[in-house]
Amino acid sequence: MKATIDIGTNTVLLLIAESGGDKTIKVIRDEARITRLGQKLHALHLFPPAAMKRTLTALKEFKTLCDQHFVSEIAAVGTAAFRKARNASEFVEEILRETGIKVEIISGEDEALYSYTSVLKDFGSQHQNLMALDIGGGSTEIISINGSVSLPLGCVELTERYLISDPVTPQEMKRVYEIIEKVLANPSLPPLTPREGTLLPPLGVRGGQGELALVGLAGTCTTLSAINQKLTVWNPAKIQGSILTLKELPEITQQLATSTIAERKQMTGMVPERADTLLSGAMILQKVMEKVGVEKLLVSDRGLRFGLFIKKFSSSFTS
């Protein structure tokens, strides 16, 4: 039994699983805790003590689950927030001291690679031309077979900096849309090191064969899918492979924009802890879909933790 842990700006995720000889992953536990580690990171450039405490509590709980399932090895990674916080290395040391979990701060390149590995495993047999979109709390990754870019667009940071009112104002919405559009239009976006020796083609230029399939990872996309399906109980089987269309997004976005945070928490399908940041995530998603030129999004309830598991523990997937 092996485990992977993904510590993000907003969420901490645990996967306990076994790999089968038939190139399958047998999921034992798949857990998420929203700890908002990157709270006010854009202003403080540090992990706040309260955020570290919340995250450490979640990691202690995850370590207990790993012990209960006789996990022999844990691969844990820290992503965008750890690359930004000045006290990241100190927190890594505290996590190791308090839980015995060794956290690796990974590069944007590796973050993209693990996410794309998961997408390729789940959707590669159905779609030859895949692009993955990972909207995080501190950054957004767009990944294709040709390479990847990391965009300075995070739903936590955009919310904390610009979507201040409750409910938000039209002026705040306009400002965030302008920021997203400016980032997506920037021709000098720093590319991450590509895996195949080439760079990600300009957004909207398709680099593979056949129709482009855009796959959305992480909490923004899965929560929007749950709201769109009006799920009263979270059901990963109904999220995985579900479809969100570009036509459906404006209605959901408008509903979020005209509601208070308290009202958003009562929406069918909403994960209450995401109620404040989901609007900015939906805005990022809408603009990326428009820029890439797709009318629908395939939603994945998996992501980096699954790709990390494949790369670290599943030799059967390498053939």
Concatenated DSSP letters for 188-220? TPPBPPPSSSSPPPPTT---SSSSEEEEEEHHH
As a whole number, mean pLDDT of residues 299-310 equals 92
Check whether residue 148 and residue 297 sit in a common domain. yes
Q: What average pLDDT is seen over the chain?
A: 87
Model confidence band, residue 140 (pLDDT cutoffs 50, 70, 90)? confident
* Residue type, position 237, single letter: A
Instruction: Tell whether 315 is covered by a domain.
Output: no
For residue 49, give its domain range.
2-106
> Tokens 């509590």 identify what position?
57
Share above pLDDT 90 across residues of the chain, in percent, rounded to a whole number: 60
Neighbour count for residue 104 (Cβ, 10 Å): 12
Check whether residue 152 and residue 58 sit in a common domain. no
Instruction: Tell whether 316 is covered by a domain.
Output: no
- Residue that is last in its domain, among 60, 79, 106: 106
CA 10 – CA 35 distance, rounded (Å): 6
**pLDDT at position 198, please?**
37
CA 83 – CA 89 distance, rounded (Å): 10
Instruction: Tell whether 249 is covered by a domain.
Output: yes
Query: pTM for the whole thing?
Result: 0.84
Q: Is pLDDT of 33 > 50?
A: yes
Question: Do the strands 2-7 and 73-78 form a parallel or antiparallel pair, or are they unpaired?
Answer: parallel
Instruction: Tell whether 111 is covered by a domain.
Output: no
Tally of domains within the chain: 2
